Structure 1
Amino acid sequence: MANLPFSYSIRRSPRVSRMRITVTPDKIEVVAPPKVAEALLHQFVNDKQQWILQARQKVAGNNRPAAFPLPATYGEGTPIPYRGGQYPLRLVRYPNKRVKISFNGELTAQIPAHLPPEAHSAALKPALVAWLKQQARQHVGQALERHTATQQLIPQSVLIKTQKSRWGSCGIHNDININWLLIMAPPEVLEYVVVHELCHIQIRNHSAQFWALVAEHLPGYQSQRQWLKQQGGELLRYGFGLMG
């Protein structure tokens, strides 16, 4: 651990069945089942150090436009941006008829056993898009639950949409649209966009009064707004490349 060019933490979890590494802008974390020997964990990190360095560089934005690198193909080990981290995709062959994506500390794709390797990428892309949209719907709903009760900011409807140049919008009838690509941004960024659009239910402009209302819900919203200014373009590029 001391000889590596980075530090990392170890977290034991009975919910995971195998070791995994999560890289975010704030930390490098190794998550492992409770009974895995610590020496084995350190060896695992040592073996993965090149991937860790690359992932850390991507999430930190030190090698733009590598914060959201668009892979040539999707398969085993492809890093997928999700909730502010980069998760290497793990493929598992199953006797099912279509690709199924799941996340339990690691991002797993169940691939139909009959599907040849050369067909994996084409099958994975639409499955990832569908799964990410479903996750966006879930996490947007959770953010709404946290903020709608305050000052009765209740939308008429909420849609998760593909938007080419906007992260969210609030219509004249209080219908809110949220861009599903935000599920790949840090959680607080998605929450900021939800709060932003909710506040437009009460104040339709971007006056000082509007920003004061946003700050009542999210006192540190400025950093989330800045993240979108700095990283949003790359995230849009990645998302539309994934759908292409």
Structure 2
Amino acid sequence: MTQASTLKYIAHYPEHIQSQAAELISQGKLGDYIDKNYPTKHQVQSDKALYQYINQIKNQYMRKTSSLTQVTYNSKLAVLNQALGIHTFQSRVQGNKLKAHNSITVASLFKEAPPEFLRMIVVHELSHFKEKDHDKSFYQLCCHMEPAYHQFELDTRLWLQWREQL
């Protein structure tokens, strides 16, 4: 089994990062790394609380974006779609008006995550309302809303790797 296949969550990262992660895993220290850097879990446990949390971030950084119609946690998300969060946006014509429907679904496993990881997922999904593709402008928007976005993304993937080993 290759290192890339055993480190599926960070397989697209550079070799030196994969090597560091593999060393932490082989020494049994990945959990210690996560616990040391992210000692707390967030308190956003219900769909209503998640809606309020996401809406607060949206209103702070993306006021002109259409309001959120629906926000939920979904226990089947990670298994079915190989995704940690999903965003949907639809525009519908109603009479002479254009109505937007924006929704975000977050994998339920993030109820157990550190607050930084939930924020990273939320920032990622909100960014898709303005930038559809994972390009430079998309990641600039993510970093505008969360300056440590890239570190949180890597550490979220390491957390997922660690959880899978438990």
Per the normalisation by structure 1, the TM-score is 0.41
SS at match of 1:148: helix
Question: Which stretches of structure 1, 4 residues or longer, exceed 4 Å deviation after superposition?
Answer: 84-87
Verify: 1:63 aligned to 2:25, yes or no.
Answer: no
Verify: 1:144 aligned to 2:54, yes or no.
Answer: yes
Compared CA separation, residues 200 and 234, structure 1 to 2 (3 A): same
Q: Does the aligned pair in 2 maintain the 1:155–1:198 contact within 8 Å?
A: no
The percentage of aligned residue pairs carrying the same residue is 19
| Structure 2 Cα separation of the partners of residues 188 and 139 of structure 1 | 16
Q: Write the letter of the residue equivalent to 1:220.
A: A
Structure index of larger Rg: 1
- Higher RCO (C-alpha 8 Å, min separation 6): 2
Q: CA deviation at 1:184?
A: 1.6
Q: Does the aligned pair in 2 maintain the 1:143–1:191 contact within 8 Å?
A: no
Q: Between Structure 1 and Structure 2, which shows a larger proportion of helix residues?
A: 2
Residue 86 of structure 2 aligns with which residue?
169
> Where does structure 2 lack aligned partners over 5 or more consecutive residues?
1-23, 91-101
Compared CA separation, residues 181 and 237, structure 1 to 2 (3 A): farther
Residue 205 of structure 1 aligns with which residue?
133
Q: CA deviation at 1:142?
A: 4.3
Per the normalisation by structure 2, the TM-score is 0.58
Query: Which digits, 9 at most, give the CA deviation of each residue in 1:44-71, with x for residues without a partner?
Result: xxxxxxxxxxxxxxxx976267x39xxx
SS at match of 1:169: strand
Q: CA deviation at 1:236?
A: 5.7
Residue 189 of structure 1 aligns with which residue?
117
Number of residue-to-residue matches in the alignment: 119
> Where does structure 1 lack aligned partners over 5 or more consecutive residues?
1-59, 69-80, 88-131, 239-244
CA RMSD of aligned residues (A): 3.2
| Structure 2 Cα separation of the partners of residues 146 and 234 of structure 1 | 30
Residue 72 of structure 2 aligns with which residue?
159
Q: Does the aligned pair in 2 maintain the 1:137–1:180 contact within 8 Å?
A: no
| Structure 1 Cα separation of the partners of residues 144 and 40 of structure 2 | 31
